[in-house]
Amino acid sequence: MTGVCGCCGALRPRYKRLVDNIFPEDPEDGLVKANMEKLTFYALSAPEKLDRIGAYLSERLSRDVARHRYGYVCIAMEALDQLLMACHCQSINLFVESFLKMVRKLLESDKPSLQILGTNSFVKFANIEEDTPSYHRSYDFFVSRFSEMCHSSYEDPDIRTKIRMAGIKGLQGVVRKTVNDELQANIWDPQHMDKIVPSLLFNLQSGERTESRSPSPLQASEKEKESPVELTERCFRELLGRAAYGNIKNAVTPVLMHLDNHSLWEGKTFAVRCFKIIMYSIQSQHSHLVIQQLLGHLDANSKNSATVRAGIVEVLLEAAAIAASGSVGPTVLEVFNTLLRQLRLSVDYELTGSYEGSTNIGTKIIKAHEERQLQEAVIRTIGSFANTLPTYQRSEVMLFIMGKIPVPGVHPALSSTGSGPEGTRMIQVMLLKSLVQVTAGFQTTNMLTALPSSFLEPLLSFSLTEDPEIRLLVLQILLSLIDRHDNTPKFSNISIISDISVLKLKVDKCSRQDNLFMKKHGQQLYRHIYLGCKEQSSGRQHYETLFALLGLLSVELANEEVVVDLIRLALALQDLALSPPVPAFCQHIHEVIEVRQKESPYLLPEDVFIDNPKLPSSLEKVDGGVLFLQSKITEVLGGSGYNTERLATPYVPQYTDEDRLSKRKSIGETISLQVEVESRNSPEKEERTPAEEITFETLKNAIVDSVGMEEQERERRRQVVEKFQKAPFEEIAAHCGARATLLQSKLNQIFEITIRPPPSPSGTISSGYGQTQSRSVPIYEMKFPDLCVY
């Protein structure tokens, strides 16, 4: 019987006998190395047998797995690994199919040891560069299985860590094997990236939680090699480093989705870490693609909670700091437009307390302090982006932001919708704070081109507002724009210095462009500095900033003419400080206020501007003691050197063209103006009076009678207004009809003068009734008086 078996064994194919000989009787003895060398030599000598060797090894491995003979399984995988490393021929593709089939068999097993064994073999295979391409190989199973291993929840923490690390290594192997092989399935497709990237982020996040427990130094050194965090980060960096221009979006989108699904924006720390890895790993010329995706994601979450939006903005801030100069991309203004839009929305949310038009998150409570934190984060991000731009682009951004600042009456469409004047003010403050960030460190050699009138004039106009916070922001912006040598900190300490050389100021000779700038805008700057010093609501910070501004002007932009103007300005400020109010005038005001407090409290603002003021039916019985007297004011001001002649002339407002655009208080006021114009243009005044000789007596009489004439004029106006307020409607309608008839008659006269038949050759025109008319003269032949020609 033994002889028969030996005879049958001799008839078996040689490759099978060689394969069988590598397995010892006891699997603990390991692979028989001498027989393995024979098998390897045979495979190299007869490469056409390689696929059969692989198929037979696969058959034995499957049988051993089913019989739980795991020792022989390990020997079979070791033999496969050695054959893969040794053989590089055209027939290896069929052998690889058998190899991957065996790896798949191990990965499908429930035994962690077999899963790890299969992963290690796959990683070795992934590092082999094949000489021949494969057209039909698929790695979809391995991506799914390795991703699943990355999320292992095995009970034993040590085994769980090993399984997760095996999964990470497997994904790394898949990426290495497929990323540069155009014949393989595209690993950058969303179906693969949506599995690979979240698996890596899950382990990166799990590693953060493990590290936060602060193990002892001994434990840390023991666990350092086993921790999956470093392996995960290295794999993630390798994946991103291999991403081409068209693959960045597919690689970053799963990161955004993972942070959304696990609410990781609110913590900020992990999200910032992820995008730091991304920004440092991808090629620098692709940085703007990541920033654009973050901006789009910020817009998509514009109605999410403030903490989520703040987390995205913080990530943008870090990404902009890492990005190289110019990496914001071609749409620079779109970046700032998105951030400014988020700033405006945040202000609206804070003031209105709701997300306008939202249905899915309308029940969320908007917290004002969270919105303010978001606003500050957006402002810092705007400054971070601006720091990456060259000077000319930063100037464009400054103009762009200035154009977004709402100015009541000028840019009403830009005001905050639904939040009223307070919203407009808050947006003004936020955008000016953004300008402070953008202008920080701004340096230019040509002030005229960097600070055009379209930017400087609106900026200076905000320095005259009543809001002290806005005025201070404008001053800070001016400091940043004028300071080109970092001299501002040296003016922060206001003190008397006998030798200014101790300040170590950096001073350059004033250039021609600086001289032109001061020649064009110097007087504007002086005027706004002077008016800023006069503001009663200005505080210590305002005056410190104004002091620094004057110092910077004298250092940065001062030529001989500017120095003289600055001295004149300083003297004017001194005079402004020395001009006290007139004591007698102030005393009269206090006396009237005291009398009103005792006798007529309803004439005081605190008793009038209340919900239910107690006002008399009329003010006819008001005593003269509670009124400000013109005679008394004339006396006290005249004694202080004031010219009081004009106090005797009652003030009458002069109507201008702007009044046509303003709203009238009543129809009677409008009609009175119409009647006044009509009375001036009535036919009774058409007759010309002969020229009157003007003498000294005439001028004297005109001055003496001017007061009486003004009294008569006021009385006439009062009667006209009263007539149109109290007269019946029929009388007013008849008057308006008469005006229309008068206008038509005037138009007819004008048409008769200007519209005439063309002249005849004889110089006269024969009418149909035999009458003759004089020839009309063309306009270009008319003789005009010299005073009418200029």
One-letter amino acid for residue 314 of the chain: E
Do residues 547 and 494 make contact, with C-beta atoms less than 8 angstroms apart? yes
Angstrom distance (rounded) from CA 290 to CA 441 = 26
Give residue 659's pLDDT. 45
In the structure encoding, which two tokens stand for residue 484, read together?
């080109």
- Extents of the domains making up the chain: 570-610+623-657
In the structure encoding, which two tokens stand for residue 368, read together?
């004002």
In the structure encoding, which two tokens stand for residue 374, read together?
């978001």
Do residues 593 and 607 make contact, with C-beta atoms less than 8 angstroms apart? no
In the structure encoding, which two tokens stand for residue 256, read together?
């955004």
Angstrom distance (rounded) from CA 70 to CA 111 = 10
Report residues of the chain scoring pLDDT below 70: 1-11, 88-94, 130-136, 180-185, 207-226, 324-331, 356-364, 408-419, 579-580, 651-708, 754-790
- Chain centre distance of CA 320: 13
CA angle 142, 30, 77 (to 5 degrees): 15
Cβ neighbours of 737 (radius 10 Å): 10
Cα-based torsion angle of the residue sequence 257, 259, 263, 264 in order, rounded to the nearest 10 degrees: 180
Angstrom distance (rounded) from CA 660 to CA 260 = 56
Best CA proximity match to 569, nearest among 525, 537, 603, 515: 525
Do residues 725 and 668 make contact, with C-beta atoms less than 8 angstroms apart? yes
Cβ neighbours of 318 (radius 10 Å): 18
3 state DSSP class of 22: coil
Beta strand extents in 501-621 (DSSP E only)? none
Do residues 357 and 373 make contact, with C-beta atoms less than 8 angstroms apart? no
Using alpha carbons, list the distances in angstroms from residue 90 to 93, 506, 635.
Answer: 7, 74, 117
CA angle 152, 158, 163 (to 5 degrees): 35
Q: 436 Cβ partners below 8 Å, 6+ apart?
A: 383, 473, 476, 477, 480
* Maximal CA-CA distance, the chain: 161
Location of structure tokens 């655009």: 661
* CA count, 13 A, side-chain hemisphere, 300: 11
Do residues 545 and 468 make contact, with C-beta atoms less than 8 angstroms apart? no
User: What is the sign, positive or negative, of the torsion defined by CA atoms of 64, 70, 75, 78?
Assistant: positive
Q: 87 Cβ partners below 8 Å, 6+ apart?
A: 43, 44, 47, 50, 95
Angstrom distance (rounded) from CA 571 to CA 564 = 11
Angstrom distance (rounded) from CA 406 to CA 344 = 11
Angstrom distance (rounded) from CA 79 to CA 87 = 12
In the structure encoding, which two tokens stand for residue 479, read together?
């400091």
Helix boundaries (H) for 535-582: 540-556, 560-578
Write down how long the chain is: 790
3 state DSSP class of 51: helix
Angstrom distance (rounded) from CA 430 to CA 348 = 12
Location of structure tokens 């696990």: 262
Q: 442 Cβ partners below 8 Å, 6+ apart?
A: 391, 394, 450, 480, 481
Give residue 612's pLDDT. 80
Q: Which residues pair with 766 in a beta bridge?
A: 772
Give residue 661's pLDDT. 40
User: What is the sign, positive or negative, of the torsion defined by CA atoms of 305, 309, 311, 314?
Assistant: negative
Angstrom distance (rounded) from CA 140 to CA 671 = 86
Do residues 692 and 698 make contact, with C-beta atoms less than 8 angstroms apart? yes
Cβ neighbours of 357 (radius 10 Å): 7
Cβ neighbours of 67 (radius 10 Å): 10
Q: Which residues pair with 774 in a beta bridge?
A: 764
3 state DSSP class of 774: strand
In the structure encoding, which two tokens stand for residue 464, read together?
């005259």
Best CA proximity match to 316, nearest among 341, 286, 331, 336: 336
Q: Could you read off the pLDDT of 764-789 as tens digits, one per residue? A: 444 444 444 545 555 555 665 655 55
In the structure encoding, which two tokens stand for residue 147, read together?
């991703």
Angstrom distance (rounded) from CA 616 to CA 501 = 69
In the structure encoding, which two tokens stand for residue 144, read together?
């799914």
DSSP state of 765: E
3 state DSSP class of 321: helix
440-473 burial by CB neighbour count: b if 16+ within 10 A, else e?
eebebeebeebbeeebbebbbebbeeeeeebbbb
Location of structure tokens 């048409």: 751
Angstrom distance (rounded) from CA 696 to CA 360 = 85
In the structure encoding, which two tokens stand for residue 726, read together?
């109290």
One-letter amino acid for residue 96 of the chain: V
Location of structure tokens 């495979």: 43
Number of DSSP helices (H) and strands (E) in the chain, helices first: 32, 2
Angstrom distance (rounded) from CA 539 to CA 526 = 19
Q: For the residues of 166-233, what is the DSSP string, one character each?
A: HHHHHHHHHHHHHTT-TTS--TTSHHHHHHHHHHHHHHHHHHHHHHTT---HHHHHHHTTT-HHHHHH
Do residues 329 and 288 make contact, with C-beta atoms less than 8 angstroms apart? yes
Location of structure tokens 């409008």: 670
